[in-house]
Structure formats: structure tokens, C-alpha cells
Structure 1
């Protein structure tokens, strides 16, 4: 198992992996990352110096991704945990937790004090994972992700971790 930063050659694989999760869970496609045009060009999106996208692979097969991104309109010191998706066969073995922890550590290294995430009820297993990791639900969205189809918003304060 290898966790590394995104490469340009990952773009199509990651877009397919992300969209497959929406199909698998019958999640809304409009107003979500499914229809977001940046999903097809993640390498380019994550060239932003205050961002990082981690990719998990095994024997050359991409199994998942998770990253940190300074979404427009976020409060000062807050970044978004984004593009957190795994292939079905890669779930349930701790890989998701590893990817999320790598992203949280990256957020700290990049100087962020909070991480925000938005998701959907269809991804209820992930919501439980976020809650166990210390994310708390919010009453309204933060920032301007453009993902108006998401209706679960959560935040994690990094300064409370030791």
C-alpha cells in the first residue's frame, strides 16, 4: 500500500472512482462533486500551494483519495476536507482512516486551524467516521464550494487535538 500525492496521470482514474461512489450509493449527481467540472482535473486543481490531494494505491491500482483544499469563502484558517472516496473493495480495512489522518496532518502543516466537510446522507458510513474523528455537525454550509446538493456540513477544530 502506498499513499502519495496526486499525479496528472491520476485524473481519469480518480474522476471515475468518485463518480462510481455516487452511482453505487444512488447519491444526487447535480450540485455535487459528481457534476463539478474540476473532478476531471484534480491534479491541476491541487496545484494550489495551500492544498494537497493524497492518493492510495496498491500494485499500481488507485484505491482512493482524500485531500485538503482552501475552498473560496471559508473563514480564516479553515480548509475543506475534499475528494474523500474509496473503491468499494478498499473500504472497511482502515484505509479511509489513514487517508483522512494524512489529510488532517497536512492541514496542520499547511497552517489551518479548522477543517470543514460537506457530504450527503447517502454516505452515512462516512458521516459516522467523521463524527468518530471529532467532526461536529453545523446548521449551515461554510464557504462557496458550489456543491448545493450537499446537506450535511461538519467542522473539526484542529487546535483541540494534541
Structure 2
């Protein structure tokens, strides 16, 4: 894999099975519980349709015919306010350590700003150290309790960033 062949772009219908498989593989690799996390989200199997709405976007990392990662922005579920959520940001092992996480964060946060959100929220797990390091690097701060109700009750680390 050469970084020159990697593209970050909006999701297309043909990507649905590939991104679902990539996300589930990463979650299994990381030992994430299958309940109370993105693993059981029905949206995983229809990501294009899920993000085909105002103020929503999902981006994939494509290397040739392979989808090796992705992340999205959506209004925060069950929350009254102008906050979006960074959702389903996962990268296959071959996509890690190449600066793609930073590129993806920039793309997602730029979209969130353009969509008019004032803050971005995320949920993660305490043992996802590299992810938390990246989130802190771009300005996310830990908060004491979850916002909204995403259904991801197994995620016990909550972070927020002003846009």
C-alpha cells in the first residue's frame, strides 16, 4: 500500500459491505463488546443510506478496491442543541500510522463546521489509546458524562470539541 494510492472520499453505495466488514473487523481486533457499541448498529449495513441526509456525511478511506477505514459526522442523537457527533471512525491496521487519522479528522471537522454545528462530541473506549491521543491532538477534551443517547452504553469515555 502506497499513500499516493489512498483517497478519502464520501461513501458510495458500493462501499456499504466493505465499510461494514472493515468496522466490525477493527472492533473484533480491539476486543470491543458486541453490545452497546457500534458493532450492533443496524446502520453499519446501510451506511450510504444512513448518511444521505442533511447535516450528515460519511467518508471512507479507499486504497484501490479496498475500503480500509472511515468516519462520519451526524447530529447527536437524542440531544437538543447544536452538537454533532463524530461517528464510526475506524481504520484497518494497514491504514494506521500514516497520518490518515489526522486527515480524516480534518475532513470531518471541516464538514461539521460547514454544516453549522458549534461543537463535536464523540464516545470511545478507555483502552483505545491511539484514538484518544488523536482526538486530544485536534482539540477534543474529556467530559464527565455522556451527551444525548447514542445507545453505545459500553463506551465510557466522552469527549467534546468546540468548532
TM-score (norm 2): 0.93
Q: 114, 124, 129: which is aligned to 2:134?
A: 129
Contact kept in structure 1, 2:37 and 2:154, CA below 8 Å: yes
Q: 53, 60, 65: which is aligned to 2:65?
A: 60
Task: Show CA shifts across 1:82-114 (max 9, x none).
Answer: 010111111001011101110000000000110
SS in 2 for 1:29: coil
Q: Which runs of 5+ in 2 are unaligned?
A: 1-5
Q: Which runs of 5+ in 1 are unaligned?
A: none
Q: How many residues align?
A: 158
After TM superposition, where is structure 1 displaced by more than 4 Å over at least 4 residues in a row?
none
Partner of 2:101: 96
- CA RMSD, aligned part only? 1.0
Determine the C-alpha separation between the residues in 1 that align with 2:136 and 2:107.
17
Q: Aligned runs of 1:45-84 on 2, under 5 Å?
A: 45-84=50-89
Task: Show CA shifts across 1:104-149 (max 9, x none).
Answer: 0000000011000001123121011101111000111011211111
Q: Aligned runs of 1:108-147 on 2, under 5 Å?
A: 108-147=113-152
Partner of 1:42: 47
